[in-house]
């Protein structure tokens, strides 16, 4: 049974956070309707408990999360149900943290039945090349439109050029998707070889720009007809392209490139940016700065890349390996 939608005018601040999180799950991860309905119920119950205790989900510590999980036990929830609820809560808080809406993730130190942290999905360099090749075809008007139909003419080229610009920028910079879609129009005309990005918590960081990315922005700007302050304007509440629209278009390109749609999302390209840098010798601290992570522990999800690189170095360089 589908979840009952709350009219926008009647939404509380918590309802808006839940809506945005579920929108991301639907657009970027292809979550099914039943999954979204279950998550909506779980999060509504969780935020109601926080509200009764006077806690704000975007500014809190781990104690209220632990108290909520303890309360679930007194309600008679099975261990499996509690673990699923904790997984939902963790995903929600990670989303708030990743989007810059919260300074910390209070669920991070909470122990659960399983503490194995999943490795990020990563595309290979060859797979990113295939994705970009299809996007470049679309920029010439030879690709597909958002509904999968063949496109031609100026409108199709403008859509294709925009999408190519988004993909080139994301893979070149590792921006969060929320930072990418909200770039100002002035970013396309900068003479500098970097962008100044205001990220999570209002912190600014420098993001180097490749010449390919700068060229993609200039091409996109040349095809842009709409006025306004945004590099990617759209008919939306914010005035710029939404993360959901970009995620849908990206999956269309992924399918045309022969990649499974569930393996490709804006966040996966951000992971590819970081992993490919580390594979080629970048320092973990530098990648931390480029990604805008406040804490090195967040960047350490990529240590499996470093482990493989170190093994390779020892195998290739140690004088006794061939002995």
Q: What is the mean pLDDT of the chain?
A: 83
| pLDDT score of 118 more than 60 | no
Is the C-alpha dihedral spanning 115, 40, 32, 164 positive or negative? negative
pLDDT of residue 194: 87
* pLDDT per position as a tens digit, 247-297: 999 999 999 999 998 899 999 999 899 888 888 888 888 888 888 877 776
Catalytic site residue from 214, 251, 271, 293:
293
> Rounded mean pLDDT of 213-232?
92
pLDDT of residue 106: 93
| pLDDT score of 144 more than 60 | no
pLDDT of residue 307: 57
Domains, the chain, ordered by start = 8-98 (1.10.150.130), 125-261 (1.10.443.10)
Q: Where are the beta strands (DSSP E) in 122-240?
A: 194-198, 204-208
Our answer to whether residue 267 is catalytic in this structure is yes
Our answer to whether residue 55 is catalytic in this structure is no
Catalytic site residue from 130, 270, 271, 276:
270
* pLDDT per position as a tens digit, 193-207: 888 888 776 778 888
| pLDDT score of 71 more than 70 | yes
Catalytic site residue from 46, 68, 171, 302:
302
| pLDDT score of 5 more than 60 | no
Q: Smallest Cα–Cα separation from 229: which of 186, 193, 175, 270?
A: 186
Asked if 114 and 79 touch (Cβ cutoff 8 Å), the reply is no
Q: Work out the angle at residue 232's Cα, subtended by the Cα atoms of residues 226 and 235, and round it to the nearest 5 degrees.
A: 65
* pLDDT per position as a tens digit, 13-47: 889 999 999 999 999 888 888 889 999 999 999 99
Residues in the chain: 323
Our answer to whether residue 66 is catalytic in this structure is no
Q: Smallest Cα–Cα separation from 102: which of 111, 110, 90, 117?
A: 90
Chain center to CA of 264:
11
Give the span between the Cα atoms of 227 and 154, in whole angstroms: 17
> Rounded mean pLDDT of 55-75?
91
> Rounded mean pLDDT of 163-183?
94
Q: Name the band, by pLDDT with cuts 50, 70 and 90, for residue 322.
A: low
State what percent of residues in the chain have pLDDT above 70.
81
Q: Name the band, by pLDDT with cuts 50, 70 and 90, for residue 143.
A: low
3-state helix, strand, coil in the chain (%, to 5): 60, 5, 35
What pTM did the predictor assign?
A: 0.61
In sequence order, which residues have a C-beta less than 8 Å from that of residue 38 and are 6 or more positions away? 88
Of 80-84, 112-116, 152-156, the poorest mean pLDDT is in 112-116
pLDDT of residue 304: 59
Catalytic site residue from 185, 200, 271, 276:
200
Our answer to whether residue 191 is catalytic in this structure is no
Catalytic site residue from 55, 157, 159, 176:
176
* pLDDT per position as a tens digit, 86-117: 999 999 999 999 999 998 899 988 876 444 45
3-state secondary structure 67-130: HHHHHHHHCCCCHHHHHHHHHHHHHHHHHHHHCCCCCCCCCCCCCCCCCCCCCCCCCCHHHHHH
Q: Name the band, by pLDDT with cuts 50, 70 and 90, for residue 301.
A: low
pLDDT of residue 189: 86
Q: Which two tokens stand for residue 229?
A: 């302050």
| pLDDT score of 299 more than 60 | yes
Give the span between the Cα atoms of 249 and 180, in whole angstroms: 15
Our answer to whether residue 75 is catalytic in this structure is no
| pLDDT score of 1 more than 60 | no
pLDDT of residue 160: 93
Catalytic site residue from 162, 240, 267, 276:
267
pLDDT of residue 303: 65
Give the span between the Cα atoms of 288 and 320, in whole angstroms: 34
pLDDT of residue 315: 56
Our answer to whether residue 318 is catalytic in this structure is no
């Amino acid at each position: 049974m589908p979840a009952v939608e709350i009219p926008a005018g009647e939404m509380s601040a918590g309802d808006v956070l839940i809506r945005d999180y579920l929108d991301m799950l639907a657009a970027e991860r292809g979550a099914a309707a039943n999954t979204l309905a279950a998550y909506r119920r779980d999060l509504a119950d969780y935020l109601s408990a926080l509200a009764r205790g006077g806690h704000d989900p975007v500014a809190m510590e781990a104690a209220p999360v632990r108290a909520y999980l303890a309360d679930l036990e007194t309600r008679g929830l099975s261990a499996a149900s509690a673990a699923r609820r904790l997984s939902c809560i963790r995903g929600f808080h990670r989303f708030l943290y990743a989007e810059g809406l919260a300074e910390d993730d209070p669920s991070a130190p909470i122990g659960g039945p399983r503490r194995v942290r999943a490795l990020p999905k990563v595309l290979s360099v060859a797979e990113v090349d295939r994705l970009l090749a299809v996007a470049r075809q679309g920029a010439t008007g030879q690709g597909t439109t958002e509904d999968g139909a063949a496109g031609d003419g100026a409108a199709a080229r403008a859509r294709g050029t925009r999408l190519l610009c988004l993909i080139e920028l994301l893979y070149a910079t590792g921006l969060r998707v929320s930072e990418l879609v909200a770039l100002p129009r002035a970013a396309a005309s900068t003479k500098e070889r970097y962008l100044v990005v205001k990220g999570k918590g209002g912190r600014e960081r420098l993001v180097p720009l490749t010449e390919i990315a700068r060229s993609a922005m200039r091409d996109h700007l040349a095809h842009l007809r709409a006025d306004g302050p945004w590099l990617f304007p759209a008919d939306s509440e914010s005035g710029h392209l939404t993360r959901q629209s970009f995620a849908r278009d990206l999956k269309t390109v992924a399918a045309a490139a022969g990649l499974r749609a569930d393996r490709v999302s804006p966040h996966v390209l951000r992971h590819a940016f970081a992993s490919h840098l580390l594979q080629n010798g970048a320092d973990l601290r530098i990648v931390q700065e480029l990604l805008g992570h406040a804490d090195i522990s967040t960047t350490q999800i990529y240590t499996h890349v470093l482990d493989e690189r170190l093994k390779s170095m020892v195998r290739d360089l140690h004088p006794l390996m061939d002995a």
